[in-house]
Amino acid sequence: MTTPPERWLLDTNVWVFGLRRDASFPGCAELLDRIGTFSILIPLQVLKELNLTLAESEMREFYQIINQYPEFIELSWEPVPPDRVRFYVEQGCRKGDAVIAAHAEALDVKIIVSENRQFLQTLRDLPVEIVNTGEAQTRLGWSLS
Amino acid sequence: MQSIDDLANVITELNPSEQQTLLDKVAQLNFQKGLHGLAEKYRARLTRQNQLNTPSEQIWIALHRIREEIAEHDYPA
């Protein structure tokens, strides 16, 4: 299989609202439906958050699905250096969001997709860009055209 | 519906790049099918637990709490 050129980190809220098919955030489900046209990275922090949100059997099924498609989805079990978490906290992130940004940086992911408004407004002029699902879909449409 | 053999014959008539595109598309659709199945099971459980229509504000509160608890545990000040 061919690995898609775009590689994004989907924040936990995109997974949760997407799997719930939550009508308040329709872009989340729409984005999950397009995985494969872009590839994604799931870092340790997101895996831990999903583990506390999904039931054990659901999490098992989640791993079974993603392990079948390594071209689309990459898992990272590596923690991030604490000094990079501190760096993003100093940029204005809450600590949890700082961990996500540090994961993206450490794994060379340039784009985080999130509906977390506070997170979206925090990072400016840094190597990691945060976009919402609408912006992500626009980007995807542009990159496919 | 075509038999598997007929389908295979049609596919072998495609050029290599078309075959690759087809394989990629099949993989993507299979992945989506798996993810849709998981979403259905998740939604069914939430329905049983009367949580499917939880307001998004409450979901955000829970997500923020989980995030900060994990971060505080893994990266203590």
CB contact under 8 A, A95 and B71: yes
CA angle (A95, A106, A131) in 5-degree steps? 65
Contacts of B17 in chain A (CB under 8 A): none
Higher model confidence: residue A122 or residue A68? A68
Can you tell me the distance from the alpha carbon of A47 to that of A13, in angstroms, rounded to the nearest whole number?
12
A94 touching B (Cβ < 8 Å): yes
pLDDT at A144: 43
* A24: nearest CB among B56, B62, B68: B56
pLDDT at A145: 38
Rounded mean pLDDT, B25-50: 96
Rounded mean pLDDT, A57-81: 94
Can you tell me the distance from the alpha carbon of A20 to that of A1, in angstroms, rounded to the nearest whole number?
29
A19 touching B (Cβ < 8 Å): yes
Distance from CA of A90 to the nearest CA of B (A): 13
Count of C-beta atoms within a 10 Å radius of residue B20: 13
Rounded mean pLDDT, A16-31: 96
Higher model confidence: residue A117 or residue A124? A117
Rounded mean pLDDT, A66-88: 93
- The model's confidence at residue A30, banded by pLDDT at 50, 70 and 90, is very high
User: Residue A21: which region, alpha, beta or left (left: phi > 0; alpha: psi -120 to 50)?
Assistant: left
Can you tell me the distance from the alpha carbon of A9 to that of A41, in angstroms, rounded to the nearest whole number?
5
Residue A128 has pLDDT above 90, yes or no: no
Distance from CA of A125 to the nearest CA of B (A): 24
CB contact under 8 A, B56 and A71: no
Distance from CA of A132 to the nearest CA of B (A): 15
Question: Shortest CA distance to A47 belongs to which of A11, A89, A3, A84?
Answer: A11
User: pLDDT tens for residues B8-28?
Assistant: 888 899 999 999 989 889 999
- Which structure tokens are listed for A87? 């760096």
Compute the half-sphere exposure of residue B46: CA atoms within 13 Å on the CB side of its CA. Answer: 21
- Which structure tokens are listed for A27? 């872009």
Pairing status of strand A7-10 against strand A129-131: unpaired
Find the closest chain B residue to A46 by CA distance.
Answer: B67
Contacts of A25 in chain B (CB under 8 A): 56
Rounded mean pLDDT, A67-81: 93
The helix or strand, by DSSP H or E, that contains position A12, with its residue range, turns out to be helix A12-20
pLDDT at B29: 93
Q: In what order do the strands lie in the sheet with A111-113?
A: A73-75, A39-42, A7-10, A111-113, A129-131
Across chain B, what does the average pLDDT equal? 93
Residue A102 has pLDDT above 90, yes or no: yes
Higher model confidence: residue A34 or residue A6? A34
Compute the half-sphere exposure of residue A12: CA atoms within 13 Å on the CB side of its CA. Answer: 28
* A32: nearest CB among B30, B35, B67: B35
Residue B1 has pLDDT above 70, yes or no: no
ipTM score assigned to the predicted complex: 0.89
